[in-house]
């Protein structure tokens, strides 16, 4: 029993995470787990997202949802920052890939979104 309690306490502490600051725009570094690359195209721009976070219990589905949402939000934020509107982003056109590093417990995803400008 003496060995179980410290191990249980350590497991509980290692499962804790802090939420991202959602009051800041994504460009201001509100989520330190997300890295973006924005590239202009002839018809708009693309968003390439690399996102990873520690997960005590792997939940790839939850990470896929978060990854798609962050990539989409970043595209709309970029369009607003540039003062232009983009066509609605169909979630099925977002390319997403997920992987897990079992050594450090991080689950990572990469998403790619293409945003197309609306005609004025």
DSSP string, 32-75: TTEEEEEEE-SSEEEEEEEEEEE-SS--HHHHHHHHHHHHHHHH
Per-residue pLDDT tens for 44-55?
Answer: 999 999 998 887
Predicted TM-score (pTM) of the model is 0.72
- Tell me if 64 sits within 8 A of 109, measured CB to CB: yes
For residue 13, name the pLDDT band (cuts at 50, 70, 90): very low
How many domains, the chain? 1
What mean pLDDT do residues 98-113 have?
A: 88
Structural domain of residue 100, as residue ranges?
A: 4-116
Which of the pair, 88 or 17, is modelled with greater confidence? 88
Q: Is the pLDDT of residue 110 over 80?
A: yes
Q: How far is residue 11's CA from residue 14's CA, in Å, rounded to a whole number?
A: 5
């Amino acid at each position: 029993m003496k060995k179980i309690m410290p191990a249980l306490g350590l497991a509980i502490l290692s499962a804790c995470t802090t939420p991202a600051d959602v009051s800041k725009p994504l460009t201001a570094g509100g989520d330190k787990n997300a890295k973006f690359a924005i590239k202009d195209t002839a018809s708009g721009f693309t968003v390439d997202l690399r996102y990873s976070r520690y997960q005590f219990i792997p939940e790839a589905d939850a990470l896929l949802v978060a990854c798609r949402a962050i990539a989409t939000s970043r595209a709309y934020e970029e369009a607003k920052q540039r003062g232009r509107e983009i066509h609605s982003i169909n979630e099925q056109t977002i390319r997403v890939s997920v992987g897990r590093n079992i050594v450090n417990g991080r689950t990572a995803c990469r998403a790619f979104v293409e945003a197309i400008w609306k005609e004025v």
